[in-house]
Amino acid sequence: MTELTDIVGSREIVVVANRLPVDRVVGPDGSSSWRTSPGGLVTAMESVVEELGCLWVGWPGDIDEELAPFELGAMRILPVSLSTEDFEGYYEGFSNGALWPLYHDVIAQPEFHREWWESYERVNRRFADTVAAEAPADAIVWVHDYQLQLVPAMLREQRPDLTIAFFLHIPFPARRLFAQLPWRREIVEGLLGADVVGFQREQDALSFRFAAERYCGALAHGNMLRLAADDDGRQRSVLAQEFPISIDAAAFARLAESPAVQRRAAEIRRELGDPDTVLLGVDRLDYTKGIRHRLKAFAELLAEGEAPLGEVVLVQVASPSRERVAAYRRLRDEVEQTVGRINGEHGAIGRTPVVYLHQGFSRDEMVALYLAADVLVVTALRDGMNLVAKEYVASRSDETGVLVLSEFTGAADELRRAVLVNPHDIEGMKAAFLRAIHMPEREQRRRMSALRAAVSGNDVRHWAENFLRATEAMAAQRETALRDTAQ
């Protein structure tokens, strides 16, 4: 196995993401503690940075908090603070009220406000200035996700010695949707400041290359974008390609083998009343995840007697997310009302068909849930990758269990042996749930072993290796070009 540090040689790594890998939580008594930040970005990057070591620049999750840099395992953490105004304009506003819905196929209506854009520019500038001041010479700066798309160009202006890579964890919108964005050219220019721009799926990379040609006059040759010459006549190329992200599959497999986790899984099933089939949904409470569609399909199966009370249970973990954004508040109300209605209509004393948990859990508890679940249901309307699907597969070392997976996730490109569904098609989804509930063990094993091979064949280390190799190759190319023009 190649060491990641061998790939990057003497270059140091700086990770830049909106969130730090840990979130600061202040208790009611004013005491503060740290917990792992929510979302797939941190899940994926955790094990990579553990191996590489890095400087991580990000927001600690609290408003108006000025924190000094500190060490965390192999990382040096450099907190960037957000004021109430930044939080409302940059984070809740432009990132999660405009970009998030636009990039997820306008499932919710994006809003475009000029003051949100100004705040987005201002905070991106703050991140870029912080990195410019702190990054060691010739470092690789690895910028992450939709909140920081202007950082690459802002950083390149100040620090041409750096190699800049960007990875988008969410989808890049199809051309007609991206065209709606009033600041589409600025966003593409921002990203083109990087040497490598990585995406989850081929179609994302394709849409971006189109946007780079259309709005910034770049020329695409395969995955490579050739930019127009700058004022000094220098030309630069940017690699825009898919690098589907993954998880630390071995770590999940190890946890799944742990006797304590297995005991907990058995206990969960007992606590659920020993049903024949446990269906499980695990999502951030987000409108992109298709939780309402899933509940609708399940409620109809209950009403039609196809998922009898006591025999089939749906456990829905919905971890709290972006709770001050109006669309998220509405979704929470709708989901909780629906769960209440289903349980009210179909439950009995001591038995509820849907067990709903609006909480986040530790990784141990998550793996215990994966082991306790006969079927994992991922019904996202749009999702960059969906790492939960991969976590379930990696945890099922006995090769039983069924993955029901939406076609609209990045994971569906790789996990072809899942039971694939279109979550907009309620009848189709009901049929898929029934198929999963009644799937013979032999078929489960055939499918699960193919799924496990796919996940372990492209785990997060493999992803990081590919991404860093491509970045290193682009760095070498840029340095040669610089030397040639200097001669």
List all residues 6 or more positions away from 3 whose beta carbon is below 8 Å from its beta carbon: 51
**Contact between 144 and 167 (Cβ < 8 Å):** yes
The residues carrying an active-site annotation are 169, 383
Q: Say how many residues touch ligand G6P, by CB under 6 A.
A: 10
Nearer to ligand G6P, 195 or 383 (CB): 383
C-alpha 334/C-alpha 330 separation (Å) is: 6
The nearest distance, CB 226 to ligand G6P, in angstroms, is: 29
The nearest distance, CB 14 to ligand G6P, in angstroms, is: 17
Nearer to ligand G6P, 154 or 387 (CB): 387
Instruction: State which of residues 11, 21, 22, 39 lies at the interface with ligand G6P (CB under 6 A).
Output: 39
The nearest distance, CB 91 to ligand G6P, in angstroms, is: 7
Beta bridge partners of 77: 56, 70
Region binding ligand G6P by CB under 6 A among candidate stretches 32-40, 233-241, 297-305, 462-470: 32-40
Site string for ligand G6P, 151-170 (x = CB under 6 A): ------------------xx
Residues 451-480 that bind ligand G6P (CB under 6 A): none
The nearest distance, CB 289 to ligand G6P, in angstroms, is: 11
Instruction: State which of residues 8, 15, 22, 41 lies at the interface with ligand G6P (CB under 6 A).
Output: 41
Nearer to ligand G6P, 40 or 93 (CB): 40
**Contact between 99 and 108 (Cβ < 8 Å):** no
Question: Applying CB under 6 A, does 289 fall inside the site for ligand G6P?
Answer: no
**Contact between 471 and 163 (Cβ < 8 Å):** yes
Region binding ligand G6P by CB under 6 A among candidate stretches 7-15, 38-46, 104-112, 369-377: 38-46
DSSP letters along 392-423, please?
HHHH-TTS--EEEEETTBTHHHH-TTSEEE-T
DSSP letters along 277-304, please?
EEEEEEEES-GGG-HHHHHHHHHHHHHT
Q: Which long-range contacts (CB under 8 A, 24 or more apart) does 248-252 make?
A: 248/46, 248/47, 248/459, 248/460, 248/461, 249/390, 249/394, 249/455, 249/456, 249/459, 249/460, 250/394, 250/456, 250/459, 251/47, 252/367, 252/391, 252/394, 252/395
List all residues 6 or more positions away from 370 whose beta carbon is below 8 Å from its beta carbon: 256, 280, 376, 391, 392, 395, 396
C-alpha 342/C-alpha 347 separation (Å) is: 8
**Position 397: which residue type?**
S
Q: What share of the chain is helix, strand, coil (3-state, %, to 5)?
A: 50, 20, 30
**Contact between 93 and 116 (Cβ < 8 Å):** yes
Residues 167-226 that bind ligand G6P (CB under 6 A): 169-170
Question: Applying CB under 6 A, does 40 fall inside the site for ligand G6P?
Answer: yes
Residues 106-135 that bind ligand G6P (CB under 6 A): none
Nearer to ligand G6P, 40 or 281 (CB): 40
Region binding ligand G6P by CB under 6 A among candidate stretches 35-43, 266-274, 367-375, 471-479: 35-43
Nearer to ligand G6P, 181 or 387 (CB): 387
Question: Applying CB under 6 A, does 293 fall inside the site for ligand G6P?
Answer: no
Region binding ligand G6P by CB under 6 A among candidate stretches 37-45, 119-127, 297-305, 341-349: 37-45
Question: Applying CB under 6 A, does 321 fall inside the site for ligand G6P?
Answer: yes
Region binding ligand G6P by CB under 6 A among candidate stretches 34-42, 294-302, 326-334, 351-359: 34-42
C-alpha 212/C-alpha 202 separation (Å) is: 15
Token pair 């004022």: residue: 231
Residues that bind ligand G6P (CB under 6 A): 19, 38-41, 145, 169-170, 321-322
